[in-house]
A = this chain, B = another copy of it.
Amino acid sequence: VTIHRTSEENDILKRFGQRLKALRKARALSQEELAEKAGFSRSYYTEIERGKRNVSILNIVKLAECLEVPLQTLLDFSESD
């Protein structure tokens, strides 16, 4: 499936993925550990961190719970420029 996204949309997904990765590393969790904790496949989780998935609010909430951070902290990815 080819998904067409604007560069702005790709940028949002990438920044979210980077934020997620930083929080995961701060908790010394591997991708595999966090994926399993959240009930995601490893490949799906990896794609989220790479900014390839337009993740849903329920999965965002689940990730925040697994990272034990408020939703706002996970969504705190400001513009890069």
Contacts and interface: CB of A to CB of B under 8 A. Distances in A.
A38 interface: no
Given A71-B75, A72-B72, A76-B72, A55 B54 contact: no
A13 B76 contact: no
A80 interface: no
Given A9-B58, A57-B57, 13 more contacts: A12-B57, A12-B61, A13-B57, A13-B58, A16-B57, A54-B56, A54-B58, A55-B56, A55-B57, A56-B56, A57-B60, A72-B75, A75-B75
Q: How large is the interface on A (under 10, 10 to 19, 20 to 34, 35 or more residues)?
A: 10 to 19
A56 B53 CA distance: 10
A27 B39 CA distance: 38
